[in-house]
Structure 1
């Protein structure tokens, strides 16, 4: 099973986007769940129409990515902190409503240390997720202290780990995250760390050791899809169709490594 983050670049209507993703060979998508960053420019609340449009295109929905613009507010004892908590609680309800099993969340960065209020908010989100049967996957970024603290303090089947291999290689190489939290793995983001922004490149175009990465993912017994999260930032010479075709071929190489099948490339 191979999936891709739905907003990989290129301006086009959402129906055309999902049609091209399906035609490239992908089985499913990871949805961006916000109108932030200008990603709703083709229609009001397009992102909330995404699940139906994706399914009409023959794609399954692996997870949603919650808004990230205000991620550092979660621990704050003010209206901004309450608003972000309410946003995440709404995302849990949206997952249940749209029959999407998992949501990915960014915890605050390292210089925003988790406090008792923040932990209580995570537990409130976990309680709602447990009630509705939704998984909340916390993604690794520049947030290792907060990520490790929350995973250690919140004992809930609904709170787990989203492994981003590029963020790991860029920010936390000293920690074996998959060995530490692989038993709670709920989602993965696969992209490489080369290019103009040192992230979101197609696999095999950067410096990540993919053989080791895919072996470690396989060792966690993670049953989810091989999920890509590339952007077209360094591939402006490719059309959307060409970019997706290349992304799918790279994903098949990753699948071969995970399954220990010799790659044909």
Structure 2
């Protein structure tokens, strides 16, 4: 399966957005789950995506106030309630996974914060929703939470460009590959040094896909690109290019999977 982040840029009706995503060949979408970044009303997205014939891989929880999670104040409580609401939405709409940003390196975990996070985990377990914690500039918090929270509902969202931008020497997939619940695949080209289409930057996709295969990840090839540096392309041209690049990744993954099976047969 090949999926794409649905809020990748361009001004067009959401129904047309999903129609084009499906038309060029994508099987599924990852949904942005807030009114932020110009999204507006978002809950109808699940229905509209499915009406277009798309599978919903996950939702991305709001990120605007992500550092409030550890705070013992009303802002922190508001963010907890936001995440609990996202879990309920996933449960009600039969969406398996929600992606979360933990606070960054300037906001380090504490015992109170961990108790609060475990409350969110309890709700996720009750509702059967996966929490996929994304790597950004947050390795201290990410590694602590994944080591402290032993729950089948809590895992890792591997963002490849964030990996090489913030912690290029750290082997996230070797450490957390077995807990992988989502992926964000994009390259490091462009004015933001991230969210470009694969193969348009300097990342070594052979190495990346081999690591993903070694992690035994069987989920979708998930593209999280933006049109920031592709404004010369129409929306359909951008999507066609994104799908072609995703198919190249899929082929690399299949080749490494085949080699891995051959090697295991000789053991």
Alignment TM class, shorter chain as reference: over 0.9
Deviations 1:208-237 (A, max 9, x none): 100000110111111210000000000011
The within-5 A match list for 1:28-39 is 28-39=28-39
Paired residue for 1:104, among 99, 102, 108? Answer: 99
CA distance in structure 2 between the aligned counterparts of 1:148 and 1:190, rounded to whole angstroms: 21
| Corresponding residue SS for 1:259 | helix
| Corresponding residue SS for 1:61 | strand
Paired residue for 2:85, among 90, 112, 130? Answer: 90
Paired residue for 1:48, among 32, 43, 51? Answer: 43
Moved over 2 A (4+): none
CA distance in structure 1 between the aligned counterparts of 2:119 and 2:203, rounded to whole angstroms: 36
Question: Unaligned 5+ residue runs, structure 2?
Answer: 257-267
| Corresponding residue SS for 2:64 | coil
Deviations 1:41-92 (A, max 9, x none): xxxx2x1000100000000000000000000000001000010011111111
Residue 111 of structure 2 corresponds to: 116
Residue 173 of structure 2 corresponds to: 178
Residue 200 of structure 1 corresponds to: 195
CA distance in structure 2 between the aligned counterparts of 1:200 and 1:175, rounded to whole angstroms: 20
**Offset of residue 116 of structure 1:** 1.1
TM-score by length of 2: 0.95
TM-score by length of 1: 0.96
Residue 264 of structure 2 corresponds to: none
Larger helix percent: 2
Residue 259 of structure 2 corresponds to: none
Residue 265 of structure 2 corresponds to: none
The count of aligned residue pairs is: 257
The within-5 A match list for 1:157-236 is 157-236=152-231
Deviations 1:86-122 (A, max 9, x none): 1111111110001000000000000100011111121
CA distance in structure 1 between the aligned counterparts of 2:111 and 2:4, rounded to whole angstroms: 36
| Corresponding residue SS for 2:122 | helix
Residue 151 of structure 1 corresponds to: 146
CA distance in structure 2 between the aligned counterparts of 1:50 and 1:9, rounded to whole angstroms: 15
| Corresponding residue SS for 1:138 | strand
Paired residue for 1:75, among 70, 75, 82? Answer: 70
CA distance in structure 2 between the aligned counterparts of 1:116 and 1:12, rounded to whole angstroms: 45
